Amino acid sequence: MAKTTTPNHAGAARQRGVTMKDVAEHAGVSRTAVSFVLSNRENASISEETRARINEAVQALGYRPNAGARALASQRSDWYGIVTEIVTAPFAVDIIKGAQDQAWLDRRFLLIAPSDQADAVGPNQGLEDAATEKLLEQRVEGLLYAATYHRGVHVPESAKEVPTVLINCFDADGKLPSIVPDERAGGRVAVGRLLQAGHRRIGVINLDPDIPAAVGRLEGAREALAEAGLELDPELVVPGHATADGGYEAACRILDRYPQKDRPTALFCLNDRMAMGAYDAIKERGLTIPGDIAVIGFDNQELIAAYLRPKLTTVALPFEKMGALGVQTLAALTAGQPIIADQQLVDCPLLERSSV
């Protein structure tokens, strides 16, 4: 076959890019040798001398490997993707941070794609699919799905092409591994703390009773009471809208319902926002926290819990840890371990501040 003429590319290189070839020439060796040195091959058989020369050339030229080319050649990208609603809650951020940090430790990159769902009713499937698709185009080796509050979700079909882990949510079809907070243990810890402080009549300001968070936390509360030989009085469990106003109203109801001697001495608010409202209701009535009424929250929404006066004792949702664990699980999966659709529970630590 005849040697074909080389077409002359229009002087493409707009941006100076030092390649391995440049390094090789500078060091007077072959490109292969450079590649061997840079990837630290074991059975390398490159003399210390040339190795040094190559490293010098790398320094001198300011060589920087091209991650894309490497990915193409080696057929592995070292990229994970995470799709999440970055918007609404500040929670997603903590998940991302946890995942990001862990990925960084593992020398991997985390590509973040927003799925921007409009509201809590149902995910914006179109955007989620598009996000997943984009991520797959980048040839991510694994996918993370993160929700801002603990719930069941439906994952796009195409996500099943690579290992996938759910964070703070679970697959409604039960086919994917997931990582969620241990709500039950959290509820137990919260109420346990109140019991330990001597409280016997404990009011509970509940969330929408159907969501996993409410179910788990309430169950935990029940368990803690049972351990102390007490029962959860249904009358003391009042529903509330998951906002400060909702908490205010619920607290008003429960506080005004009883004469002082029967009034609960502690309030377990199933989230911090409601606790914030409860604070107002309590203070309005001339009562003190925690002197007259102790308050414990859930979620550890920093900006609320740490700045309320007195600072709110609450149970933290372990977002960062879940993010990190998600990446670890993904790493195990991509390393070849079989995908098992189990659910990992992560502990919710109690944060003692001043409201109990």
**Cβ–Cβ < 8 Å for 287, 61:** no
87 binds, among DNA, its own copies, none (CB under 5 to 8 A by kind): its own copies
Candidates 52-60, 145-153, 256-264, 275-283 — which segment interacts with its own copies by CB under 8 A?
Answer: 275-283
3-class secondary structure, 261: helix
User: Under the criterion CB under 8 A, does residue 93 sit at the interface with its own copies?
Assistant: yes
Candidates 11-19, 255-263, 310-318, 338-346 — which segment interacts with DNA by CB under 7 A?
Answer: 11-19
What the block records as the tokens of 88 is 């609404």
User: Under the criterion CB under 7 A, does residue 40 sit at the interface with DNA?
Assistant: no
User: Under the criterion CB under 8 A, does residue 105 sit at the interface with its own copies?
Assistant: no
User: Under the criterion CB under 8 A, does residue 239 sit at the interface with its own copies?
Assistant: no
Nearest CB to DNA, comparing residues 137 and 231: 137
Distance CA 232, CA 224 (A): 9
User: Under the criterion CB under 7 A, does residue 19 sit at the interface with DNA?
Assistant: yes
Nearest CB to DNA, comparing residues 138 and 243: 138
CA-based angle 190:191:194, to the nearest 5?
Answer: 100
Least separation in angstroms between residue 267's CB and its own copies is 17
5 binds, among DNA, its own copies, none (CB under 5 to 8 A by kind): DNA
3-class secondary structure, 26: helix
CB atoms within 10 A of CB 223: 16
Distance CA 242, CA 5 (A): 72
Nearest CB to DNA, comparing residues 78 and 347: 78
DSSP string over 119-148? SSSS--HHHHHHHHHHHHHTT-SEEEEEEE
User: Under the criterion CB under 8 A, does residue 200 sit at the interface with its own copies?
Assistant: no
By CB under 7 A, name the one of 45, 210, 259, 260 that touches DNA: 45
Exposure class string for 231-259: b at 16+ Cβ within 10 A, else e: ebeeebbbebbbebebbbbbbbebbeeee
Distance CA 172, CA 178 (A): 11
DSSP string over 278-332? HHHHHHHTT--TTTT-EEEEEE--HHHHTTSSSPPEEEE--HHHHHHHHHHHHHH
User: Under the criterion CB under 8 A, does residue 28 sit at the interface with its own copies?
Assistant: no
User: Under the criterion CB under 7 A, does residue 270 sit at the interface with DNA?
Assistant: no
User: Under the criterion CB under 8 A, does residue 100 sit at the interface with its own copies?
Assistant: yes
Candidates 102-110, 171-179, 210-218, 227-235 — which segment interacts with its own copies by CB under 8 A?
Answer: 102-110
**Cβ–Cβ < 8 Å for 319, 95:** yes
Nearest CB to its own copies, comparing residues 26 and 273: 273
Residues pairing with 267 in the sheet: 203, 295
* Binding-site ranges for its own copies (CB under 8 A): 1, 3, 12-15, 64-69, 71-72, 75, 77, 86-87, 90, 93, 96-97, 100-101, 104, 109-112, 114, 116, 133-134, 136-139, 162, 243-244, 248, 273, 276-277, 280, 283, 301, 303-304, 307, 309
* Binding-site ranges for DNA (CB under 7 A): 1, 3-10, 12-13, 17, 19-21, 29-33, 35-36, 38-39, 45-47, 49-50, 65-66, 69-70, 72-75
